Amino acid sequence: MNTSILLKELKYKAIRSSGAGGQHVNKVSSKIELSFDIEKSNGLTAEEKLRINKKLTSRITKSGMLILQCGDTRSQHRNKELVIKRFLDILKTSLYVSKARRSSKPTKASIKRRLENKQKHSIKKSNRRKPLL
């Protein structure tokens, strides 16, 4: 993943923020919409594109675009910084490969503890029964 190439491929659009406002809110487009075409990207390898498509299927449109929005602050520039940071975080988490779990053998002490607990539980249950006459 080459972040400098990815940042050049991003497309931004300023849109009006939703929610309550005042006189100024209807004139200013401070919300930023970031769009990124995964298939046409030169900053990702084919393997990385496949991994991103697999992990982010719910966030990717049918045309293969990843669209993010940010309208957290009143400043358009700050929203742009936030959406870029969010975009890079999403890509890094989707490209992360977790280690394969290796099963381990239980220790002798843990086996002994488990069997003792089972025995205690069995005795407790048997003591609750009605006595035989």
Q: What pLDDT, on the 0 to 100 scale, is given for residue 104?
A: 93
Q: Which residues on neighbouring strands pair with residue 36, listed in sequence order?
A: 66
Q: What is the pTM of this model?
A: 0.69
Tokens standing for 1? Answer: 């993943």
User: For residues 40 and 55, what is the distance between their CA atoms, to the nearest angstrom?
Assistant: 18
Indicate the fold that domain 3-95 takes in CATH: Double Stranded RNA Binding Domain (3.30.160)
Position of tokens 């220790």? 107
Q: What pLDDT, on the 0 to 100 scale, is given for residue 111?
A: 97
Q: Which residues on neighbouring strands pair with residue 19, listed in sequence order?
A: none
Question: What is the residue type of 75?
Answer: S
Q: What pLDDT, on the 0 to 100 scale, is given for residue 18?
A: 74
The residue ranges of every structural domain in the chain are: 3-95
Tell me: the pLDDT tens digits for 65-82?
A: 999 999 888 888 999 999
Q: Which residues are CB-neighbours of 82 under 8 A, at least 6 positions away?
A: 70, 72, 73
Tell me: the pLDDT tens digits for 111-129?
A: 999 999 999 999 999 999 9
Tell me: the pLDDT tens digits for 11-61?
A: 999 888 776 666 676 677 888 999 999 888 888 899 999 999 999 889 889
Q: Which one is predicted more confidently, 116 or 132?
A: 116
Position of tokens 């293969």? 64
Q: What pLDDT, on the 0 to 100 scale, is given for residue 19?
A: 67
Tell me: the pLDDT tens digits for 97-112?
A: 889 999 999 999 999 9
